[in-house]
Amino acid sequence: DSLLSIEIDYGAKRTFCSTGKTKLERDGVLRSLEPFSPRGFISVCFPEPGEYPLRVYGIHGNSVPSRGTIIVQANREE
């Protein structure tokens, strides 16, 4: 369980969630304030369907992040 830093790009999508170790910046990116344990990162909210680009940085100072996309689909009730 190593420490990591993250950036999640919400763009213009709304979000109200963060933890004491993250901050939502004016550019729509939720950024780590300090490295943390993935187990300690309890809540990130995605209230709107869409794609959220994600960057993960390891604790060892690797300046090249791992990149991915979080995909949130609308809940379809039948």
Answer yes or no: is 8 within a domain.
Answer: yes
Task: Write out the residue range of the structural domain in which residue 21 sits.
Answer: 4-72
- HSE of 12, CA atoms in CB hemisphere, 13 A: 0
Tell me how far apart the alpha carbons of residues 21 and 5 are, in angstroms, rounded to a whole number. 9
Answer yes or no: is 24 within a domain.
Answer: yes
* Contact of 21 with 41, CB cutoff 8 Å: yes
Tell me how far apart the alpha carbons of residues 65 and 8 are, in angstroms, rounded to a whole number. 12
Number of domains composing the chain: 1
pTM beyond 0.85: the answer is: no
Tell me how far apart the alpha carbons of residues 42 and 73 are, in angstroms, rounded to a whole number. 21
Cα-flanking dihedrals φ and ψ of residue 60, to 5°?
-85, 20
Answer yes or no: is 67 within a domain.
Answer: yes
77 vs 74, which has greater pLDDT? 74
Answer yes or no: is 53 within a domain.
Answer: yes
77 vs 5, which has greater pLDDT? 5
Answer yes or no: is 50 within a domain.
Answer: yes
- In the predicted model, what is the mean pLDDT of residues 55-59? 82
Answer yes or no: is 16 within a domain.
Answer: yes
Q: Return the number of other C-beta atoms located less than 10 Å from residue 22's C-beta.
A: 21
pLDDT, tens digit, for every residue of 16-49?
776 788 888 999 999 989 888 766 565 466 778 8
